[in-house]
Structures are given as structure tokens and as C-alpha cells.
Amino acid sequence: MAAASDDNFDWVGAQARCGVTEMFQKLQDGAQADVERRNGAGFGRDDNWRFEFHAGEDGFEVVRIADSSKDGAAVTFEREGPRINIAGDGVDVRITAVVGINPSGDCRYFVGELEFLGWEVRKQALDQLFFEELDE
């Protein structure tokens, strides 16, 4: 198979193998592992937060369980056609990503004109949920 830098690169085949279903599953698997990591290490924080991962038919969510209901929050990931919509409830998160191949022929997530790896999308979505500093 020709490399992406070769003019005979099979971009059609590469794009066909770069499906939203597979990439959404990678986000889901990664988010579940992120929740396990965050719950497994307190990172020296005294907020007593714990996190739950819930998968559904059309998406999944990560929920922050806090001592105070006002500190609870969630981030929902949903697949809608070719788009992956990520939205926060109690945290300021709103991301719409699509998947496609980059100039190197690698399957990536795109938010606007910017290209991201899976961990980068998850960080954008979950960072505030996991680590925000709340007012006392």
C-alpha cells in the first residue's frame, strides 16, 4: 500500500476505514479507563468526589458524584450521524467532533479545523469535570 506522502495513496480506502462508530467506541473505552484512573487516585484532593461511567444505546456519560448536590455534574457523549456531540451539565463543555483522515492518512477527530487524538478530546471533555476548583 502506498504511503500518504505518495501520490498513489488510497485515501478512499483510508477514509472508509475511518468510521465514526469505531472512533466513538475508542472514546467510550478511553473515558471508562479515565474514570477508573480518576477514582483510583485521589491526586491529593480532598473533594471526596467519585465518578461513574454509564453507557447507553446512543452514547455514554461520565457523572461526578459529590457530597453536595450543587457540586455534582455530568458530561454526555452522543453519536448523531457523522458527528460526536459532547455536552456538559454543571460544567462548561460543548464540543462537536467529526472523524476523518489527516494529511498523513491517519484517522483522527476534528473539532472545527483542528485535529485531535482521542485522549485530547477526552481531556477537553472531562478535565473540568475531574479537576475543577470549586468555591468553598
Q: What is the pLDDT along the chain (136 residues), one digit of tens a residue?
A: 566 667 888 999 999 999 999 999 999 999 999 999 999 886 777 778 899 999 998 899 999 998 877 789 999 999 999 999 999 999 999 999 999 999 999 999 999 999 999 999 999 999 999 998 766 5
In a domain, 30, yes or no: yes
Please name every residue paired with 116 in a beta bridge, in sequence order, or none if there are none. Answer: 109
Q: In this structure, is residue 6 part of a structural domain?
A: no
Q: Is position 4 within any domain? A: no
What's 23's domain CATH number?
3.30.920
**What residue numbers bound the domain in which 63 lies?**
11-131
- pLDDT computed for residue 124 by the predictor: 97
Q: For the whole prediction, is pTM greater than 0.85? A: yes
Q: Where are the beta strands (DSSP E) in the chain?
A: 50-55, 59-65, 73-80, 83-89, 94-101, 107-111, 114-116
* Residue 60: all three cell numbers together: 455514554
Distance CA 104, CA 84 (A): 22
Give how many domains the chain has, as a whole number. 1
Residue 48 to residues 14, 33, 72, 93, 134, Cα–Cα distance (Å): 45, 19, 11, 22, 12
Residue 77 domain-assigned (yes or no): yes
In a domain, 1, yes or no: no
CB contact at 8 A, 60 and 122: no
Q: Is residue 2 a part of any domain in this protein?
A: no
Q: For residue 136, tell me if it sits in a domain.
A: no
Residue 3 in domain: no
